[in-house]
Amino acid sequence: MYIERYTDKEFFLLFSAFDENKSWFLDANIKNYLTSAVNKDDADFIESNVMHGINGLSFGNLNGLDMCVGDNVTWHILSYGSEVNVQAPYFHGNTFSIGNRHRDVGTLIAAETHSLYMKPDNPGIWAVRSATNVMTDTGVTAFYQVNPCGTTQTGADGAASGVTRRYNIAVEEADWDYAPRETSLINGVDLNDPRAAFIFVRDDDNFIGDTYKKALYREYTDNTFTNRKPRSQEDIHLGIMGPMIKAEVGDKIEVTLKNLASREYSIHPHGVFYNKSNEGTAYNNGHDGGALPGKTRVFTWYVPARSGPGSKDPNCIPWLYTSGIESTRDTYAGLIGPIVICRKGTLDSNNKRTDVNKEFALLFSIFNENKSWYLSDNIAKHAPGRVGSDYGDDGDFEESNLFHSINGLLTGNNVGLTVHLNDTIAWYLLSSGSELDMHTIHFHGQTFSHVSNNNHRTDVIELYPGEAEEVEMRAHDVGTWILHCHVLDHISAGMETTYTVLP
């Protein structure tokens, strides 16, 4: 059990959006700092006064977060403010423990606090930020520095006992259809009916429809990138996501990334150990980024014990990987996938778990195509009436580009979610996006055990942006069942699908 007196360093981080429009001092600030008259009801002026930051400082201006490799560090994380203060504090470079579970993303709503324990093993200057996209974009980022302090030991030294697992992954630009069958497979409604999800499939000269140019991670058989690896029946459910990267504690992971797209992209992992040149991010602290168009890079990651399950976790825990050159736009463009790290001895020679019958990874995310790199390309191809127009001021158009999806698919278009009676299933549940990506994931027909939450048995689990959790289910009821986010707006926009339990 962690005891407070053994803390070497202790930090308090307040993640908050200070709304200066509601400060007692707004009028004084206008008088002192503006040289011309202003309309206090102007939307741009109001937005300019909502100051997002950590401890009241934005865009890396917070100082003093210094520690040594091996220190016992306690992070007290806090949030305060309005309903938009959904925060997901994410620590690059190191993981933390909370309740004997290993994570790198914390969860906060307004007025909530948590204490996280970290024993850093990775020297360098690392970002700590909110994994909620709007918070990252508006400055909720700081840096913490881990100094060697005389030691040469790092987390990589504890990850040399296993095997090297190699993945060959390309970034490809391709058209992605959010609704290949423009019918709700939940209730049979034609999505082209204006009373249904019409706004998301409308494809006249002023609306893009349900097919968008995206950038996707896709796996190849070897590092010549000649033959794309066909998705097996076990992997076909992944949809828009890249391949499932799996390893055990003690392993090394090598990802050869070939960029076949038109702009620089990378691959940035959560959870595992990497040095600065293998981080795959683009903040200004000595990184060397990703792969330029047409180029190939090898990313090497290690899997120390702190990257795998904690003592209260299940045998395998999920993490996310994304492109990190410009994280918000890269992920909305489509570059995201799951990592699964298991206890030693859990995976067989085919990389399958020996303790469960089936594994499924489900990403609950509102893909905001308004912020994708390819919005102008999609307008030019599918909505020529918008070319040259001020489409950003059209609320219907903006709404039509928000895809409330599971693995990038709407209203039951997912495939491959089939099990048999008495199968044991590991569900890896992931979330990514904005403050709206708080999801309450509900399984009809069966219950599951959330091992990381004291084996709590339920049929609903909540997820914050950037978070990943595993739950385990024994299928006990034959039939085809609904699986959805139970936030009503998300249901009505298509964030639901079905899974089938066969006799």
Cα–Cα dist 343/304, whole Å? 11
pLDDT at position 186: 82
For 104, residues 6+ apart whose C-beta sits below 8 A from its C-beta are 90, 91, 92, 94, 95, 96, 270, 271, 319
| Count of Cβ atoms closer than 10 Å to residue 64 Cβ | 9
501: phi then psi, degrees, rounded to nearest 5: -110, 115
The residue to which tokens 């003592």 are assigned: 311
For 266, residues 6+ apart whose C-beta sits below 8 A from its C-beta are 257, 280, 281, 282, 289, 290, 291, 297, 299, 323, 324, 325, 330
Distances 391 to 252, 388, 423 between C-alpha atoms, Å: 47, 8, 49
DSSP character string of 280-323: -B-STTT----B-TT-EEEEEEE--GGGS--TTS-SEEEEEEE-
Q: Could you give the percent of the chain with pLDDT greater than 90?
A: 80
Q: Quick one: average pLDDT of 229-238?
A: 94
Domain range 4-153, its CATH number among 3.40.50.20, 3.40.50.300, 2.60.40.420, 2.60.120.330: 2.60.40.420
* Confidence band for 5, pLDDT divided at 50, 70 and 90: low
Q: Quick one: average pLDDT of 429-453?
A: 93
Q: Where are the domains of the chain?
A: 4-153, 165-374+402-502
In 311-384, where does DSSP find H-type helix?
Answer: 327-333, 375-382
pLDDT at position 318: 98
pLDDT at position 81: 86
The residue to which tokens 């976790």 are assigned: 313
Q: Quick one: average pLDDT of 173-185?
A: 91
Beta strand 9-19 with 73-80 is parallel
pLDDT in tens, 44-77: 999 999 999 999 999 999 999 999 999 999 999 9
Half-sphere exposure of 351 (CA within 13 A, CB side): 17
Q: Is 66 helix (H, G, I), strand (E, B) or coil?
A: strand
Decide if domain 165-374+402-502 falls under CATH 3.50.50.60: no
Query: Among 122, 8, 131, which Cα is nearest to 75's?
Result: 8
Same CATH fold, 165-374+402-502 and 4-153? Answer: yes
pLDDT in tens, 332-379: 999 999 999 999 999 999 999 999 999 999 999 999 999 999 999 999
